Amino acid sequence: MPLVEVHQLVKQFSRRRGLFGTRLTTRAVDGVSFAIDKGETFGLVGESGSGKTTTGRCILRLIEPTAGEVRFRGEDVLGFSRARMRQARRDMQIVFQDPYSSLNPRMRVGDIVEEPLVIHRTGTAAERRMRVAELLELVGLDPSFASRYPQQFSGGQRQRIGLARALALKPSFIVADEPVSALDLSVQAQVINLFMDLQRQLALTYLFIAHDLRLVHHICNRVAVMYLGRIVEVGATERLFEAPAHPYTRALLSAIPVLDPAAPPQRIVLDPESLDPAATLRELTADHWAAI
Amino acid sequence: MPPLLSVSNLTVGFDHSSHFVPAVIDVSFSIARGETLCLVGESGSGKTLTALSILRLLPPSARIASGALTFKGRDLRPLGEREMQQIRGAEIALVFQEATAALSPVFTIGSQIEEVLRVHGRATRRTARQKAIELLEVVSVPEPARRVREYPHQLSGGLRQRALIAISLACGPSLLVADEPTAALDVTIQAQILDLLRDLQRRLGLALLLITHDLGVVAEMADRVAVMYAGRIVEESPAAALFHEPRHPYTRALMSSIPGGPPGSRLRAIEGTVPPLGQFPPGCGFAPRCRDRFEPCSSAPPATDLGGGRTVRCFLYPGSKDPAPQILQTSPHRRAESEQSAPQVLQISPDRRAGSSDPAGR
């Protein structure tokens, strides 16, 4: 049984046009389905506005989906009561993109990492302090940093703090929404290594939302490509990168700059007219599906 | 032929109460007509301030402490604001990163292009509209006659960036300074904008100073590359040679840290963090993070000419003019080690590239 199953997930946002005008609805997520196995890193890629962040947040119910089904360990997450959902969140956490805005500047690092433990009434104060020290060490920070404030740290260190906080309640599933794209290039590799190390150490499952396709290729076992709110292609990473089938995936992969000045770029330009909006995912080879 | 632009020993920084905090230190480079020089570096490396110094658009808190800026043989530093205005836009144009922020939301695209034309006396009120449409055509905006009447919010991110490039081209500059022109764009749109810049360069004979943190963009665009770290240019090289064999430990470490190799394998991370402004280490800025550091690195390494248009600022490369035997003696094992760990040519495996670019590969 997969750890996370998403079935026909829909999220509509609506706004009124003017004060008395008609309602405009946008389907940010439009019938998305996929499953993530335990211990897997599942990548979600696509351009900005394709619905990948919304999908990640709907799974954790940080945004309420309009329709569809999310199952975690086989249980219907969208049917959970408030109390049950709160309990479930111990097991499903998120790491945000921007380590500058996602940590409260008025709280000490120790309190930031401890907060989830306090909210979930875990342990005594002394036990929690020990756990904070343990967590900071786990993400490669000195436990003495607990008494400092976030602004005393660089982007990479802040992202480690965010990760320590996400790990506080020993989750098994983490949604990582562009966790390194706001970091300096020369520190990204450290943080990616940390993600990979923690996965091995703690048997974590990741939903990894990213636009850096080189990174996705490196760390994801499976990848889904989103375009205009739908998954247009999904499958094992190697297969999808070697033989992209959907026109958007092909355009996307051909747009990655090659790190060799001698290689002239060979672009495939997407012609949106050529897409069949009614196409549904069909299996091309084992674990490689495309909506063509 | 003299270079179009030359920057010599430029030092720029901020005055903080009693002391001067340098952000750009002793930077020198030049750009020939029609050439693309990429200034690559991470945030805080000084690349943007270097570019703004050329246009004399530094924020009020920053100032040029020393150095010379020569454009078409003319010294830019003594020029007054009025004379600089004649040069900005007309001779040297700037393309910003955030088209949304650079364009005014309350004027149409057309009127913003026309403004530039009229300010520089390149068109009258009557001819400006037609010229604006032509410029949008040059940057491949579809239906330019309709788009010229639209406001920035009606355009997609890619089209806004094209409009911004149209504005920068309005007065036929010979040098385009583009500061992360594609950083805010999706990779497919980025590819289109890079193609456009390359195409314009060929057609109009523009020189391009492209500022970026993205080595992929550098590989696609650059004739020559200057790598900046902690305010200094640590390495300058023709692009092909740089990617084939990076020399400075920072460039090497950066290139090897890019995801590649067997999926799931640990990346070769660089220890430590980028030094913030005001805390640049004395001597070589990269030394605290460098695996090859040794005693001399606590003083600033001179630029060493490696031949073939390559220079590097690192004590691992004793100057050809000034061989420093004592350095060689202290570091033979380090050199051997660093050469072993030097990355080979960086590339995506050929099958992957073929797979991603073969339209018939169903």
Domain ranges of chain B: 5-222, 249-261+269-341
Q: Which fold has domain B5-222?
A: Rossmann fold (3.40.50)
- Give contacts of A251 with chain B, Cβ < 8 Å: 188
pLDDT at A174 over 50: yes
At A108 the pLDDT is 96
At A266 the pLDDT is 82
Best mutation target among A185, A200, A241 (most B Cβ atoms within 10 Å) is A185
A270/B contact by beta carbon, under 8 A:
yes
Report the residue count for chain B.
362
A265/B contact by beta carbon, under 8 A:
yes
| Residues sharing a CB contact under 8 Å with residue B267, sequence separation 6 or more, in sequence order | A189, A192, A193, A218, B257, B258, B259, B261
- Give contacts of B243 with chain A, Cβ < 8 Å: 259-261
pLDDT at A277 over 90: no
For the question of whether the overall pTM of this predicted structure is more than 0.90, the answer is no
Q: Which fold has domain A4-91+171-290?
A: Rossmann fold (3.40.50)
pLDDT digits over B282-308, tens only?
899 999 999 999 999 999 999 999 999
Q: A168: closest CA among A99, A113, A97, A126?
A: A113
The CA distance from A204 to A173, in Å, is 6
Strands (E), B35-77: 36-40, 62-71, 74-75
pLDDT at A145 over 90: yes
Per the structure block, which two tokens stand in for A101? Answer: 């805005």
The CA distance from B25 to A264, in Å, is 34
**Looking at the DSSP assignment, which residues form a beta bridge with residue B10?**
B27
Closest CA of chain B from A93, distance in Å: 22
At B129 the pLDDT is 93
The CA distance from B162 to B153, in Å, is 14
Domain ranges of chain A: 4-91+171-290
Q: For residue B339, which phi and psi values (nearest 5 degrees)? A: -75, -35
Best mutation target among A258, A267, A284, A288 (most B Cβ atoms within 10 Å) is A258
- Determine the average pLDDT of the residues in A199-205: 96
The CA distance from A66 to A10, in Å, is 5
The CA distance from A258 to A274, in Å, is 26
B263/A contact by beta carbon, under 8 A:
yes
At B361 the pLDDT is 37
Best mutation target among B267, B286, B345 (most A Cβ atoms within 10 Å) is B267
Q: A279: closest CA among A228, A237, A222?
A: A228
pLDDT digits over B72-104, tens only?
999 999 999 999 999 998 999 999 888 788 899
Residues of chain B with pLDDT below 50 are 320-362
The CA distance from B163 to B148, in Å, is 9
Query: Are A46 and A226 spatial neighbours (Cβ–Cβ below 8 Å)?
Result: yes
At B355 the pLDDT is 37
At A82 the pLDDT is 93
At B358 the pLDDT is 39
Query: Are B247 and A131 spatial neighbours (Cβ–Cβ below 8 Å)?
Result: no
- Give contacts of B161 with chain A, Cβ < 8 Å: none
